Amino acid sequence: MEHITILGVGNILMQDESFGVRVVEELLHKYQFPENVQVLDGGTLGMELLRFLIGTDKLILVDAVSGELPPGALYQFNHDEVKAYFKEKVSMHELGIQDVLAVMEVLEKPAKEIRIFGVQPLTIDIGLEMTEVVTAAVDHVVEKLLLLLQEWQVEVVKK
């Protein structure tokens, strides 16, 4: 049985930057996952996530993604596109995750498949609440994650 990790990252003190963490909170609040699926709030941990990710066959990363699209727009990157995504990133937690993935490769324990789901933030100012446009994207990303898990033949149960 493949080990799957859903990892939400971001800084909950920086409004829309908390998107990945908020998606994970929603997943944990509404759904039960089988033993082979771990759902993690990675916050801004970076390299400290390595111990949780070693042994992961499939990794789903959820994050705020700064790009060219309007605020609230969804991004999805698959395995080969992930390296290109990280070449553009500059935030500390994203640099940390890039390092974690590199160490997994060096240890010859890389995830076989990596997917990134993200949303374009409107603002990354200090504050505990996400903007309305980004909050509205949480349910849509949760749906996409559940569809991907279904595609991977993972049975998720609504609480």
Mind listing the pLDDT tens digit for each residue in 10-35? Answer: 999 999 999 999 999 999 999 999 99
Q: Is residue 24 part of a domain?
A: yes
Q: Is residue 140 part of a domain?
A: yes
For the chain, give the DSSP string.
---EEEEEE--TTBGGGGHHHHHHHHHHHHEE--TTEEEEEEET-GGGGHHHHTT-SEEEEEEE--SSSPTT-EEEE-HHHHHHHHHT--SHHHHHHHHHHHHHHHTT---SEEEEEEE--S---SBSS--HHHHHHHHHHHHHHHHHHHHTT---EE-
Q: Is residue 13 part of a domain?
A: yes
Q: Is residue 80 part of a domain?
A: yes
Q: pLDDT tens for residues 41-66?
A: 998 887 888 889 989 999 999 999 88
pLDDT score at 80: 73
Q: What is the pTM of this model?
A: 0.90
Estimate the crossing angle of helix 92-106 against helix 79-87, to 10 degrees.
Answer: 130
pLDDT score at 140: 96
| CA-closest candidate to residue 65, choices 107, 94, 42 | 94
Q: Is residue 48 part of a domain?
A: yes
Q: Which domain holds residue 87?
A: 4-153
Q: Is residue 158 part of a domain?
A: no
The CATH code of the domain that includes 20 is 3.40.50.1450
Q: Is residue 159 part of a domain?
A: no
Q: Is residue 17 part of a domain?
A: yes
Number of domains observed in the structure of the chain: 1
pLDDT score at 142: 98
Q: pLDDT tens for residues 81-98?
A: 876 666 555 454 555 677
Q: pLDDT tens for residues 107-138?
A: 777 888 999 999 999 999 999 999 999 999 99
Strands 113-119 and 74-77: antiparallel
